[in-house]
Amino acid sequence: MIALVVYYALFVFTLLLTARAILSFVPLLVRGWEPKGLVLVVAETVYTVTDGPLRVVGRLVPPLRIGVVALDMGFLLLFFLVSFAMRLISAFLM
């Protein structure tokens, strides 16, 4: 029962990480876009929930430097870690 609750919590966190990725690309595609109303509440919730774990991973994994560009690999690492944990739990539930 506990494993199932943890699995669903990780699933919701994965959805929130996906929403954060989408929200981070919208301002690049639509200049001057600012969330308003319900979208603002959703965006604030998404950033509040995902910001802490991303900061921890960001401290542990430095950005990957390619010339003058620095790629933050923390998001990808966190996404893969959560996906891996979900697979482990689903194997345990079988």
Query: What is the spatial distance between Cα 89 and Cα 91, in angstroms, rounded to a whole number?
Result: 5
Tens digits of pLDDT across the chain (94 residues): 899 999 999 999 999 999 999 999 898 898 888 889 999 999 999 999 999 999 999 999 988 899 888 888 999 999 999 999 999 999 988 7
The reported pLDDT for the residue numbered 41 is 95
| Residues 6 or more apart in contact with residue 78 via CB below 8 angstroms | 17, 53, 54, 57
Query: What is the spatial distance between Cα 39 and Cα 45, in angstroms, rounded to a whole number?
Result: 10
* The overall pTM is greater than 0.85: yes
The reported pLDDT for the residue numbered 33 is 86
